[in-house]
Amino acid sequence: MKSSAMKALFWRFFEQGGAAIVTLIVQVVMTRHLDPASIGALALIQVFVNIGNVIVQSGLNTAIIQNPDLSDDDCSTVFWMSLSASLVIFVTVFLFAPHYAAFYQAPSIIWPLRVLMLVLIVNAYNSVQEALVTRNLEFNKTARSTVVAGVVSCVIGVTMAIKGFGLWSLVAQLLSQQLVKCIVLAAQVPWKPRAVFDPRRARVLFGFGWKLLVSGILDQGYLSLTDMIVGKVFTQSDLGYMTNGKKYPQYLGVMLDSIIQPVMLSATARMQSDIDQVKRIVRRALKTSTFVIVPAMAMFAVAADPIVRIVFGEQWLPSVPFLQLYCIIFAMLPIDTMNLQALNGLGRSDLFLKLEIVKKAIGITTICITALVLRDLHAIVIGQVISNTVCTFVNAYPNKRLIHYGYLEQVRDVLPAFALAAVAAVVAWPIGNLGWAPFPTAVAQVGVMAVVFVLLAMLFRVEAFSYLINTLVELIMKKKAGGEES
């Protein structure tokens, strides 16, 4: 089990790492050639795309991963359900686009919104492929498709941005990325949709997936609500600064977290009858992902000012405080995702939905107070930090009973990563006041933090650090042994 999981983890890392490098390049180049208002306009457009993607992908593809008796007819049934949903959403948004644009007094977003919604039709097919790949831990296939799609979309997006296409360059990059990824993955996955729809199996699959679907809509709707309120109460440029400040911590956190998450979901689903083993898997995933993500977020937050100056230019300096605050939020990401994936792996989508309702009630209350009463952009994000911290308690609550892994035990497991990162940040922060140029300042701050963090981990013999080192050595030895045998 460990061998197959580690192999899957390697390919998941390659997929996410390769895609991260390519996507980072395209995002940086395009951001430097676009103004904050264009980024804000994209955020308003993506409200419908993100919610539509949840409807098309979220519940039913997870049902494919979880179903122990999956058949080819099941996959085709899911595809036709997803495709139907995508077409209905596309037509609805196509007709509604002018009214949405009028609400924000932004007529320029009408056609970009309509065109970008085509991505839902592509994702209806791709979601089934990705679910099958995740079910079988064949992340080498998604690794190839992700990297190829990233390169192609990078060329398209950057070329259009340089030539002054503005918002359309962002739309073209996002749409081409998903289309190419779907095509490359289709060339590797043997499954192809057939003209089969089984109403009985559709009810069974939807019976599992609908709760995750509603949970996903609540989650994405909540995230989109923030963008919609900010876009209305403040300017599109303000929304652009906040979006850019959120985008990169979110991207870094989700990238690192999603390397481990699908592997853990599949492993938990296979071991769900053995509660002790499930707890060991969740605990290992939480400790390992936290030990990687927390120091990465701390480094990003400490060096945010020089990094923004170097990478995006001084026009984006107003996004620095948002970036630092979102680093705090996404540092807690492993606590949320590991607890929720444990529920998914155990087939408890009913609890997943209940937790989402509670968390979104907390989040919406916070947004309404900070945006509509205080009317302060920074207060909105500070409120998100507070509500997200409270929600980690909510997410952890059921697992105390289900797998005997309560919040206090989870805090003890992640405390070393947070404590060491905090000490390293305190040591590196004063470097920013030395008056150096942005590049040496960023290098010095990140370098000092990395060295201090690793030395402290070695000094205090942190278990997660030892596990990562031993696992890396094991992978290297296996690779050498495989090379010698061949």
Phi-psi sector, 235: left (phi>0), alpha (psi -120 to 50), beta: beta
Quick one: tokens of 35? 């103004």
Measure CA 340 to chain center. Answer: 14
pLDDT tens figures, 417-426:
999 999 999 9
The torsion region of residue 193 among left (phi > 0), alpha (psi -120 to 50) and beta comes to: beta
What is the C-alpha separation between 53 and 120, in angstroms, rounded?
A: 6
Cα separation, 205 vs 399, in Å, equals 25
Buried b (16+ CB within 10 A) or exposed e, 304-316: bbbbbbbbbeeeb
Give the orientation angle of helix 304-311 with respect to helix 275-302, to 10 degrees.
70
pLDDT tier for residue 276 given thresholds of 50, 70 and 90: confident
Q: What is the pLDDT of residues 396-417, one digit of tens each?
A: 999 888 888 998 999 999 999 9
pLDDT, the chain, mean: 85
CA dist 395 to 10, 156, 334, 389, 417, Å?
28, 40, 11, 10, 20
Residue 18's pLDDT band (cuts 50, 70, 90): low
Cβ neighbours of 103 (radius 10 Å): 12
Quote the pLDDT of residue 216: 80
Chain-centre distance for alpha carbon 243: 14
Share of the chain above pLDDT 70, in %: 87
Q: Write down the H helix ranges in 118-198.
A: 119-135, 139-162, 167-186
Rounded to whole angstroms, the Cα distance separating 286 from 410 reads 8
**Nearest C-alpha neighbor of 290 from the set 328, 331, 242, 254:** 331
CA 291 distance to own-chain centroid = 18
Instruction: Tell me the two tokens of residue 382.
Output: 């500070």
Where is average pLDDT lowest: 57-61, 186-190, 213-217, 305-309? 57-61
pLDDT, position 438:
96
The answer to whether 58 and 213 have CB atoms below 8 angstroms apart is: yes
* Residue 171 · residue 192 · CB < 8 Å: no
Which pLDDT tens digit goes with each residue over 150-164? 889 888 988 998 888
384 Cβ neighbours under 8 A, 6+ residues apart: 226, 325, 329, 363, 366, 367
| Residue boundaries of the structural domains of the chain | 1-233
Phi, psi of 374 (to 5 degrees): -75, -30
What band does 16 get if pLDDT is binned at 50, 70 and 90?
low
